[in-house]
Amino acid sequence: MKNWRIIFILLMFPPFLWGAAKTPPTRNEILAKLYAATHRREAKPVESVRIVLSGKLKIEYLRKGNRSLLREDGKVTILYDGRRCWSNGTIGGNDATWIFQFLFALRPVPELFGNLKLFPEPDGDTCTLLGRRDRYLTTALIAVNRETGLWESLSVLHDGSTRRISPTGFFVSEGRNIPEGLLIDGEPFKVEKVEWNPPLADELFRIGSGQSDANRRELEPRRQP
C-alpha cells in the first residue's frame, strides 16, 4: 500500500511543477521582459532620431534631446521644445510624441507611463500594463506577450476618444526591436525609414523657423485676450 502512495505522489509531481510554471508573472518581470525585448544588449543611446511612416498620409517624427517634432504630409502638427508643446495652434498635451518614443524604444516605459499596473490574463499568453499620464489626463493600455516580452498593442484613451496601435512585425535596428509596420486605428502604415543619431539642426525645433507664414501662425500659441 505504501508503495502505491509513493507512486501516486511521484506521478502527481510533474503536473504540480507545470502548474507552478504557469503562475502569472509579476509586473517587474513583465517590465524586464519588455525592456529586454525592445532594448537589446547591443542597443546604444539615442541622441536624435528621424522616423518616416507611409500610409494614407506621410508621417515624419524627429527627436533631438528632449525636443520633438511631428509632421503629417509635410505639415508640422506638433512641436515640443522641451518646455511646452504646441499642437495645431494650441498649447496642450503631446500624446503623439511619447507614443513614438514607446513604439521605437526611445525611452524606458516607466519614464513614459509612470507607475504601471499589471492585469495578467489567467489563461492567456498576453499581460496588460496600465499606465497613466495624469498631466495630460491620458490612460494607456499596453498588451505584452508574457513569453517573448514584445508588445502586441497599445491603446490610448484621452478625452473620451481611444486610439489603438498594433505592430505588423518587428525587425532589429541598432540593437532595438522596432515595428516594420503599424496598424493605427485600423489604417496600415509602413515604416519607410529609421535614422539613428542623424544630424538635426536646432532650427527645426524652433517656432516659425523654416515655416511658411500660415504654418507659423498655426504653431504660435494662442494668446488669451
Looking up residue 90, the CATH number of its domain turns out to be 2.50.20
| Sign of the dihedral through C-alpha 89, 163, 150, 57 | negative
- 73-81 contact pairs (CB < 8 A, 24+): 75/215, 76/211, 76/215, 76/218, 76/219, 79/205, 79/207, 79/219, 81/205, 81/206, 81/207
Cell numbers for 22? 504557469
So what's the pLDDT on residue 135? 64
Please indicate, yes or no, if residue 6 is contained in any of the structural domains: no
Q: Which residues pair with 109 in a beta bridge?
A: none
The total number of structural domains that make up the chain: 1
Cell numbers for 7? 507512486
Please indicate, yes or no, if residue 82 is contained in any of the structural domains: yes
Cβ partners under 8 Å of residue 22, min gap 6: none
Total count of residues recorded for the chain? 225
- What is the full DSSP assignment across 17-62? HHHHHTSPPPHHHHHHHHHHHHB-TT----SEEEEEEESSSEEEEE
Cβ partners under 8 Å of residue 198, min gap 6: 48, 49, 50
Please indicate, yes or no, if residue 106 is contained in any of the structural domains: yes
User: Per residue in 85-130, pLDDT tens?
Assistant: 777 666 656 778 889 999 999 988 888 888 899 887 666 789 999 9
User: Rounded to an integer, what distance in angstroms lies between the CA atom of residue 2 and that of residue 145?
Assistant: 45
So what's the pLDDT on residue 214? 40
User: Per residue in 7-61, pLDDT tens?
Assistant: 555 556 555 455 455 677 888 999 999 999 999 888 888 999 999 999 999 999 9
Q: Which domain holds residue 186?
A: 25-219
So what's the pLDDT on residue 10? 56
Higher pLDDT, 9 or 223: 9
User: Per residue in 163-203, pLDDT tens?
Assistant: 999 999 999 999 999 999 999 999 999 999 999 999 999 88
| 3-class state of residue 67 by DSSP | strand
Please indicate, yes or no, if residue 17 is contained in any of the structural domains: no
